[in-house]
Amino acid sequence: MDWQAITARIEAAVTPHIGTGKVADYIPALARIDPTKFGMAIVLGDGTMVTLGDSHEPFSIQSISKVFTLSLALKHYGENVWDRVGREPSGSAFNSIVQLENEKGIPRNPLINAGAIVVTDMLVARSGAQAFEAELLGRFHRLSGDDSIAVDEEVAESESATGSRNRALAHFMAAFGNMANPVEQSLGAYFRQCAVRMSCRQLARAALFLAFDGCDPINREQLVTRENCRRINAVMMSCGHYDNSGDFAYRIGLPGKSGVGGGILCIAPGHGAIAVWSPGLNASGTSMVGAIALEELVEATGWSVFV
């Protein structure tokens, strides 16, 4: 690959769009982010790191954390995870409650809010909120080689303060017996994981194992089984972008997960992991410029899984 040409091509593609989209503004810490930020990091199996723009600047990973939490849950609970959450696309917005009523408190998949709350609830039930957070951050530290990755306390508090809709989801699932802990306990852990700050470099590095059968190709740690790795990617492909997942698969053709902080994580199986960040979102909460950058990358590399 001629990475210099590829990054130049991506840069040319995104430049006219920098600043477009709507920055999340439901909490101050997100609302005040400079909308013209753009960063991207591509990590390959041999550790090569290709970067663009603000790739070292930490941002709030938000819902991208759901992928890592799911991988922990599959490690600890295996197929039992699916007793409490489905793996079908929801066809609706990230925080919809309608489906929960029709399907008796079982969320459609682990990458919408309700599903991620249930997955967090499992992990909190297993070892407590602190141990769960320690395990999650431990992975980030180990894989990214940076022990400073942490929860942004201001964001975590704001998430909780504005979290009425997530509270509604959690109490609703509790009404169907699908919460193992007191709602506030699991919600607290959920809000904190969403508030982790990482840079594109760190995020791509931390997810590299998902491109290589669950085994980090650099430090050789097997983080999930080969089978579960494949499955996590499948769930990301089907459900990673709420009611925009089909369009993302159509345009980009890689398993991915977006966050309202403007980050997108993508996995190119057998090739590498990509993290991109730009705060302006489309109507479904996916970074507009981030998606354009990924589209260009896929076009240039032929990494789509659908070729």
Residues that are catalytic: 63, 66, 190, 242, 260
Among 131, 134, 234, 283, binds its own copies (CB under 8 A): 234
Residue 99 in the binding site for its own copies (CB under 8 A): yes
Among 1, 125, 150, 168, binds its own copies (CB under 8 A): 168
Distance in angstroms (rounded) separating the CA atoms of residues 174 and 161: 20
> Is 44 or 170 the residue whose CB approaches its own copies more closely?
170
Instruction: Give me the 77-96 binding string for its own copies, x by CB under 8 A, dash otherwise.
Output: ---------xxxxxxx---x
Distance in angstroms (rounded) separating the CA atoms of residues 303 and 307: 8
> Token pair of 25, please?
């503004």
> Is 170 or 196 the residue whose CB approaches its own copies more closely?
170
Residue 4 in the binding site for its own copies (CB under 8 A): no
Provide the phi-psi class of 214: left if phi over 0, else alpha when psi is between -120 and 50, else beta: left
Residue 17 in the binding site for its own copies (CB under 8 A): no
Is 88 labelled a binding residue?
A: no
Distances (CA, A) of 24 to 159, 235, 244, 255: 12, 25, 17, 23
Residues 178-217 that bind its own copies (CB under 8 A): 183, 213
Part in contact with its own copies (CB under 8 A); list of ranges 4-12, 42-50, 230-238, 273-281? 230-238
> Token pair of 146, please?
């940076």
Distance in angstroms (rounded) separating the CA atoms of residues 246 and 192: 29
Residue 165 in the binding site for its own copies (CB under 8 A): yes
Residue 134 in the binding site for its own copies (CB under 8 A): no
Is 26 labelled a binding residue?
A: no
Residue 135 in the binding site for its own copies (CB under 8 A): no
Residue 197 CB, shortest distance to its own copies, in Å, is: 25
> Token pair of 173, please?
């699932």
* Concatenated DSSP letters of 70-85: HHHHHHHHGGGGGGTS
- Give ∠ CA 120-64-31 in degrees, rounded to 5: 110
Q: Helices 129-144 and 183-194 sit at what angle, rounded to 10 degrees?
A: 20
> Is 1 or 18 the residue whose CB approaches its own copies more closely?
1
Part in contact with its own copies (CB under 8 A); list of ranges 42-50, 133-141, 163-171, 198-206? 163-171
> Is 56 or 104 the residue whose CB approaches its own copies more closely?
104
Among 233, 278, 286, 287, binds its own copies (CB under 8 A): 233
Q: Which residues here bind its own copies, judged by CB under 8 A?
A: 86-92, 96-102, 108-109, 164-165, 167-172, 174-175, 183, 213, 226, 229-231, 233-235, 237-239, 243-247, 249-250, 253, 255, 269-270, 304-307
Mark the binding-site residues for substrate, compressed into ranges: 63, 113, 159, 166, 190, 242, 260
